[in-house]
Structure 1
Amino acid sequence: MEEIVGEAVARRLVEWGVDTVFGLPGDGINGLMEGFRRQADKVRFVLVHHEEAAAFMATGYAKATGRLGVCVATSGPGAIHLLNGLYDAKLDHAPVLALTGMQETSVLGSHYQQEVHLDRLYEDVAGYNLMVTNPQQVPGVVDLAVRNALAKHTVAHLTFPTDVQVAPVSEDPYRHIGPGGPPHSTAAYVERPMPASEAELDRAAEVLNAGKKVAMLVGIGARDARQEVLAVADALGAPIVKSLSGKCVVPDDHPLTTGGLGLLGTRPSEELMEECDTIFMVGTCFPYSKHLPSPGQARTVQVDRDPTLIGIRLPADAPVTADAKLALGALLPKLTRVTDRSFLEKHQRGMQQWRSNMSALQDASRDPIAPQYLMGCVDRLAADDAILTCDSGTIATWAARHWTIRGGREFYLSGNLATMAPGLPYAMAMQHAYPGRQVIAFVGDGGFAMLMAEFLTAVRHELPVKVIINNNNAYGQILWEQIVLGYPEYAVRHAEPEADFSSWARGCGAHTAKITKPGELEPAIRAALAHPGPALVDVDVNPNEPPMPGKVTYDQAKHFTEAFLRGQPHKVATMTTVARDKISELFS
């Protein structure tokens, strides 16, 4: 059988080590699908219900494994659906290759059905972006796309007109330059440790050694440098603050960390940023400048592999362009150990009180169920190497504060894009990549409803993911954002009937439970985690539980009060909940 372009693409991806492709067929990619069919013994095609989920799955796969994630969608609307997940990959620096279809070359420009010029549409999202118009371009452009995605930790995109997909690879309608040789290894692109220069390290050590109140802020770029981060923090007497994406860098119960920063962070971390005279940023360009030290307050040392990300939040007194693990390891001998631990100990005491406060909010007696208690149950019962995925919204607050990184645990969400709905697709992709690990999707009712058909995909592929739905029958984060702006809530709560996702999931053939009372919760979570196949627990939680920031500002309190004076429709229930939270903290 003569080899067609679709098969050549699939075969080349196999040579690059790709073993999984996520997608949804359509007439615009029949040639590509035929290629995957011919290589079915070497690459698995995971059929999804929505292209957005395919892109999220590819992104989750790339985030968890460090390998190339691949997704495929048909022309026009199918390819448009990929974009949300692809922007998630771009903004969180995950290597993903998107393959899309295009109308045949003879009708391009004729206002043909579903004619969307995807190479133009994808210009912003893709670091490498090309419409393939000649069979002889394959496999060379596949190599370039993969290399760019891996080397730049970004999105690459190839779109294939339908006639090109099914053309024999031997066809040569135009003069051409032949492609390079086949790939030998992806290691040069996936793992490329970058050491720091001695001059940069000396300058960094000079600034850090001069600091009296040093704080570390670490992100996902320091994921593989846990021991080095801890060693440097110990030497500097520096508390460690973590970005949300970098939650898994340091264990949450370690005495050197004060947890997260920002609206989802902790009070000790906020106070630390207000007091420090030196900030050491490692593997992060934390996007919320208002939570960082005030201009002129602190000197800054920043380590990042990407020099374009250094100094974009705070002017860098000592920039270090390097891999976090190598840089910290080489920096450690240059640091003078701090003997006065009073700064560290002050914030350690603050963190002890914070942990006590958070524990008090995990109250099993509260009815309706407190979302903090739900997350606390998951945290206590999950395995020490469990992977938790999360959607954006109030659930991110509960996960950030009540999911404890310990042992080999990991945590993933849409970091910079902060989009809804990736929690379930992430979990499915990571379960596929790590079949022996416990993978839990902690999602809200809003995000789950967007891509809930993919739970059926999990059942069909026998992926034993555990889905925990924090169901407040509302777009909770938007609700509280309206209130904090000083407006009463509007159009953020769903009308009756309230959703029962467990009934639907049961119809899919999964283990399910619907929980409305706190006494039912822990046994249901335990049973779901123990079940050998896919499981879903839909939990009705208190819809009036506010995701309060770690430290409430005057403006936030003022606007909160204004919203109530203007007629907040659920003010009695909300104030009752806030009062119970504060009482619980006071007596913790």
Structure 2
Amino acid sequence: MTEIASEVLIRRLADWGVDTVFGLPGDGINGIMEGLRRQSDRVRFVLVHHEEAAAFMAAAHAKATGRIGVCLATSGPGGIHLLNGLYDAKLDHQPVLAITGMQETSVLGTGYQQEVHLDRLYEDVAEYNLVVDNPAQLPGVVDIAIRTAYARRGVAHLCLPNDVQVAPADADPYQHVAPARPPATAPVYLSPPGVPRQEDLRAAAEVLNAARRPAILAGAGALHAREEVLAVAETLGAPVIKTLPGKAVIPDDSPYAVGGIGLLGTKPGEELVEDCDTLLMVGTNFPYTKHLPEPGKVRVVQIDADPARAGVRMPTEVPMIGDAKEGLAALLPLLHRTDDRAHLEKYQKAMAEWRENMAALENPERAPIAPQYLIGCVDRAASDDAILTCDSGTIATWAARHWTIRGGREFYLSGNLATMAPGLPYAIAAQLAHPDRQVIAFIGDGGFAMLMAEFLTAARLGLPITVVVNNNGSLGQILWEQMVLGYPEHGVRFGAPSSDFSAWARSCGGYGRKVTDPAEVNEAVRQALAHPGPALVDVDVDPNEPPMPGKVARDQAVKFAEAFLKGQPHKAAIATTLFKDKISQLGR
């Protein structure tokens, strides 16, 4: 059997350690599918129901493993569908390779069916972007694409026309010059040195040693540096703020943790930002500058792997380029231990009070069901090495505040794109990457409905993921954003008939249960987690529970009140829910 170019492509992916490709076949990639069939002992193809899900799965694979994720789509509409998931990878700096098809080279430019020049469409999303028009380019361009994705922490794209896919592997119709021939040995990616320059380390230490009220802001770039972050926090007596993508940097019950900042953050985190005199930013490019310290009022030190990002968000006195783990390890010996723990103890006390208030909101007596109680049940029932994936919206607030990082737990969501619908595809990819761990998707009804067909993918693969649908019958985050802007809500509630996604789960052959009674929540969650295959619990929660900021700003309160005065249609129910929240907290 003659070896075809697509077989060379897939074999080179396997040489790079790629063991899974997520995708959906089509007539624009039949040759690549044949290459996958011939190399099926080395590379698994995961068939999905929508290409957007394939791209989300590739991004999640990269997040959960640190290795490049690969997705595959046919020409035209298939490649277009990948884009949202690819932008998720781009904005969260995850290495992903997208492989797409294209019409035969002889018909390009003729307006042929599904002729979309995906290389042009991908110009913004891709760090490396190539139409392969000669089999001789393979496998060299595969190496370049993957190295670029790793080096630039982003998306690479290879597009293969149909005739190139099935051409003989050694075909070289032009033979102008000898093609690059990479070695047959397994390729490797050589990461750049991770230790910042010594003069920068000394300058950073000088600033941090002079701090009286230090704070650390740690992001996703520090997920592998838990021990080093804790050691620096201990030395400086510095409370640690975590971005949401960096939630698993340190445990939530750590004496240094003060939660997050921003709309999904904590009151102690927000107060620390206003109070600190020195900020150490580690592995984060936190975009919401209005939640960072006022420029000029704090001294800032930053460690970032990308020179382009250092000093972008805040005037930074000492920007350091390097890996978070290696950089902090090199910085630690230069730091002086702070004996005065008053600053740290102030925020430890504030966090203890915050945790009590959050626990009070997990009230099992409330009806309709409080979403805080639902995620609290998930948190208590899940194992200490569980992986939680989350959609965007109000559920991200509940997960941020009530999903506790302890032990080896992890947490993944669409951090910077903040798109709806990745929670379920993320869970599938994480379960495939970590088959022995508990994987839970915490999803809103709006996000689940977008890609709910992928539950059938999980059932077909026999994956024991647990899906928990926080069903408030609305696009909850937009509802509250409208109110904060001072507008009465409009176009955000789905209305009748109410959804029952548990029926869909059962029709797929999985476990499905609908819950409307708060007395059933805990048992339903535990039964779903114990189920050996895919399970789904659809829980009707209070649609009027507001995802209030950790610290409500005056302008937010004014706009909220204006929305009520303008005729908010559900103001009585919202007021009742807010009253119940306050009663729960006062009752502790």
Superposition TM-score, scaled by structure 2 size? 0.99
Counterpart residue number, 1:486: 486
Q: Is the 8 A contact 1:15 1:182 kept in 2?
A: no
Q: Is the 8 A contact 1:524 1:537 kept in 2?
A: yes
> Any gaps of 5 or more consecutive residues in structure 1?
none
In the other structure, the counterpart of 2:449 is 449
1:31 corresponds to: 31
1:587 CA displacement? 2.7
- Secondary structure (helix, strand or coil) at the match of 1:377 reads helix
* 1:263 equivalent in structure 2: 263
Name the CA distance, whole Å, in 2 between partners of 1:89 and 1:230.
Answer: 28
Q: In structure 1, what is the Cα distance between the partners aligned to 2:442 and 2:380?
A: 14
Partner of 1:178: 179
Q: Does 1:422 align with 2:450?
A: no
- In the alignment, what sits opposite 1:407? 407
Supply the AA of the counterpart residue of 2:543.
P
Is 1:119 the equivalent of 2:119? yes
Taking structure 1 as reference, are residues 183 and 228 closer, same or farther at Cα in structure 2, changes over 3 Å only? farther
**Which consecutive residues of structure 2, in runs of 5 or more, have no partner in the other structure?**
none
Q: What does residue 140 of structure 2 align with? A: 140
| 1:143–1:183 contact (8 Å) kept in structure 2 | no
Q: 1:149 offset after TM fit, Å? A: 1.2
Compute the displacement of 1:176 (Å).
Answer: 3.4
Structure 2 equivalent of residue 19 of structure 1: 19
One-letter identity of the residue aligned with 2:181: G
User: Which residue matches 1:245?
Assistant: 245
State the alpha-carbon separation in 2 of the partners of residues 335 and 472 from structure 1.
49
1:273 maps to what in 2?
A: 273
For the residue of structure 1 that corresponds to 2:13, the secondary structure is: helix
Aligned residue runs from structure 1 range 303-318, under 5 A: 303-318=303-318
Q: Does the 8 Å CA contact 1:136/1:176 hold for their aligned counterparts?
A: no
CA deviation profile, 1:68-94 (whole Å, cap 9, x unmatched): 111000011110000000011111111
Q: Deviation of residue 186 (structure 1)?
A: 5.6
Q: Which residue does the alignment assign to 1:96? A: 96
Aligned pairs for 1:216-235 (under 5 A) are 216-235=216-235
1:528 alignment counterpart: 528
1:533 is paired with a residue whose SS is coil
The Cα shift of 1:316 comes to 1.1
- 1:206-258 deviations in Å (ceiling 9; x for gaps): 01111111110000111111111011011111100000000000000111110
Name the SS for the 1:396 alignment partner.
helix
Write out per-residue CA displacement over residues 30-57 of structure 1, whole angstroms, 9 at most, x where no aligned residue: 1111111111111110000000000000
CA contact (8 A) 1:140 1:179 kept: yes
The amino acid that maps onto 1:82 is L
* Contact kept? 1:23, 1:46, Cα under 8 Å: yes
Number of residue pairs aligned between Structure 1 and Structure 2: 587
Structure 1 residues 27 and 383, CA gap change in structure 2 (3 angstroms): same
Distance in 2 (CA, whole Å) between partners of 1:234 and 1:247 is 19
Cα-Cα RMSD:
1.0
2:71 corresponds in structure 1 to 71
Contact 2:264–2:400, Cα closer than 8 Å, also in 1: yes
CA distance in 1, matches of 2:558, 2:495: 29
Give the conservation status (yes or no) of the 8 Å contact 2:139–2:182. Answer: no
Distance (Å, rounded) in 2 between the aligned partners of 1:186 and 1:562: 61
8 Å CA contact 2:15–2:187 kept in 1: the answer is no
1:560 has 2:560 as partner: yes
Task: Give the 5 Å matches for 1:43-54.
Answer: 43-54=43-54
Q: 1:571 matched to which residue of 2?
A: 571
Shift in Å, 1:142? 1.0
Q: Distance in 1 between matches of 2:245 and 2:185?
A: 32
What is the rounded CA distance, in whole Å, between the counterparts of 1:147 and 1:116 in structure 2?
Answer: 26
Give per-residue Cα distances to partners, 1:471-518, cap 9 Å, x unaligned: 001000011000100000000000211110000110110011100000
Deviations 1:378-436 (A, max 9, x none): 00000000000000000000000000000000000000110000000011001001100
> Alpha-carbon deviation of 1:62?
0.7
SS in 1 for 2:346: helix
Q: What's the counterpart of residue 436 of structure 1?
A: 436
Q: Is the 8 A contact 1:283 1:304 kept in 2?
A: yes
Instruction: String of CA shifts for 1:526-553, please: whole Å, max 9, x gaps.
Output: 1111111111000000000000000000
1:187 Cα offset (Å):
5.1
- Report what 2:302 is aligned to: 302
Shift of 1:185: 4.8
SS at match of 2:280: strand
Distance 2:62 2:184 in 1: 19
d(CA) in 2 for partners of 1:349 and 1:547?
23
Aligned to 1:391: 391
| Correspondence for 1:106 | 106
What is the deviation of 1:347?
1.2
Alignment of 1:163-174 (within 5 A): 163-174=163-174
- 3-state SS, counterpart of residue 326 of structure 2: helix
Instruction: Report the CA distance between 1:112 and its aligned residue.
Output: 1.3
Q: Tell me which residue corresponds to 2:356.
A: 356
Number of the residue aligned with 1:500: 500
Q: Which amino acid is 1:469 matched to? A: V
Query: 1:543 maps to which residue?
Result: 543
Instruction: Summarize deviations over 1:64-122 as a string: whole Å, max 9, x none.
Output: 00111110000111100000000111111111100001111111111111111110110
Per-residue deviation, residues 106-152 of structure 1 (Å, max 9, x unmatched): 11111111111110110111110000111111111111111111222
SS class of match (1:45): strand
Identity of aligned pairs, percent? 67
Deviation at 1:342, TM superposition (A): 1.1
- Structure 1 length as normaliser, TM-score? 0.99
